[in-house]
Amino acid sequence: MQARAIRSIFFLLLAVVFPVLPAQAQDAGMLPTDLRARAKQYAGLDYRAFHRVQQRLQTLLPPEPRLVDVWLQDARPERDAWQPEGWNVAVLGRTLEQAVTVRRGGYFLLPGLAPEEEEGARIVFREPGRRRTLAIQWQLRVGADGRIGQRTLVEALGQLRTVQESIPFYAAALWREKNARYDGIKACFLAPGGAILVDGQPAPGPTVGACRIMKIAPGEGTVAFTGELDIVTFVQTANNP
């Protein structure tokens, strides 16, 4: 019951906890009338497997108020700046055809389905011909003022690590997440020129497109994101030299 309550709160708060991300989400879009007939043209993934991963991670998140959220992401090379148009992801069940809302960067959450629809349901993508994988991404909640204390940032990383520690060792599908060494953040902006400042000074770290990367360090200062912020996610800085 507690896990179910946490999941319910999660979905209720999605619409209000990201006030600094005005351009992030797009309408799911209208599905083509011949989607089912053309489904074999689209790369597809097993819905039940990925929905279970999503559900398990959501139940492991700390209760509200928390600092971390989880998303699935279409793992495309240009994903950080990718702006979806129309429908891009859909769930195709026995009788169901449902578009999924995808936000800028390819982030989305799968909808729940009735048990009779889950059997054999597929996640299908608009673009044919490309092998698809889904990544798990952890988002840092940032207030409307685009600022967060260093102590709060360290606390957020601690929340994420607690989730990782709670993943059972036998959960093969989540082995990579359980063992990932998150130690930094990646702040992506809607346009080049955004920056991460620590007490007014530029934070050291690489730039990737319109994103800035910073290693998390203890301190008493304030981290500020300047520019039109899109999303802040946790990263492994060793993978982003």
Q: Are residues 120 and 160 in the same domain?
A: no
Q: Quote the pLDDT of residue 138.
A: 98
Q: Are residues 94 and 121 in the same domain?
A: yes
Domain count, the chain: 2
Report if residue 101 sits inside a domain: yes
Average pLDDT along the chain, 241 residues, taken 10 residues at a time:
42 34 50 68 82 96 96 80 85 87 93 90 78 88 97 98 96 95 97 95 94 96 97 94 65
Residue 111 DSSP one-character state: P
Per DSSP, helices labelled H in the chain are 2-13, 35-38, 47-60, 115-118, 150-166, 175-179
Q: Is 130 exposed, middle or buried (0-12, 13-18, 19+ CB in 10 A)?
A: exposed
Q: Are residues 31 and 123 in the same domain?
A: yes
Distance of alpha carbon 125 from alpha carbon 201, whole angstroms: 42
- Both tokens of residue 234? 């946790």
Distance of alpha carbon 89 from alpha carbon 84, whole angstroms: 10
- Of the three residues 106, 131, 156, the one that is the final residue of a domain is 131
Q: Are residues 110 and 219 in the same domain?
A: no
- Between CA 213 and CA 241, with CA 141 as vertex, the angle to 5 degrees is 15
Q: Quote the pLDDT of residue 131.
A: 64
Nearest-CA neighbor of 194 among 183, 208, 182?
208
pTM, two decimals, is 0.84
Distance of alpha carbon 54 from alpha carbon 60, whole angstroms: 10
Report if residue 182 sits inside a domain: yes
CB contact set of 8 (below 8 Å; sequence gap of 6+): none
Q: Are residues 111 and 7 in the same domain?
A: yes
Residue 114 DSSP one-character state: -
Q: Are residues 168 and 92 in the same domain?
A: no
CB contact set of 115 (below 8 Å; sequence gap of 6+): none
Give kind and range of the element (H or E) at residue 137: strand 134-140
Q: Quote the pLDDT of residue 129.
A: 57
Q: Are residues 113 and 144 in the same domain?
A: no
- Both tokens of residue 79? 């994903």
Q: Are residues 7 and 121 in the same domain?
A: yes
Q: Are residues 8 and 117 in the same domain?
A: yes
Q: What are phi and psi of 163, to 5 degrees?
A: -60, -45
Cβ proximity of 166 and 60 under 8 Å: yes
Q: Are residues 142 and 212 in the same domain?
A: yes
Report if residue 162 sits inside a domain: yes
- Of the three residues 88, 110, 131, the one that is the final residue of a domain is 131
What residue numbers bound the domain in which 55 lies? 2-12+21-64+74-131
Q: Are residues 171 and 221 in the same domain?
A: yes
Q: Quote the pLDDT of residue 212.
A: 96
Report the sign of the C-alpha dihedral through residues 184, 155, 135, 165, in that order. positive
Report if residue 43 sits inside a domain: yes
Cβ proximity of 150 and 221 under 8 Å: yes
Report if residue 144 sits inside a domain: yes
Q: Are residues 143 and 231 in the same domain?
A: yes
- Of the three residues 84, 111, 131, the one that is the final residue of a domain is 131
Report if residue 69 sits inside a domain: no
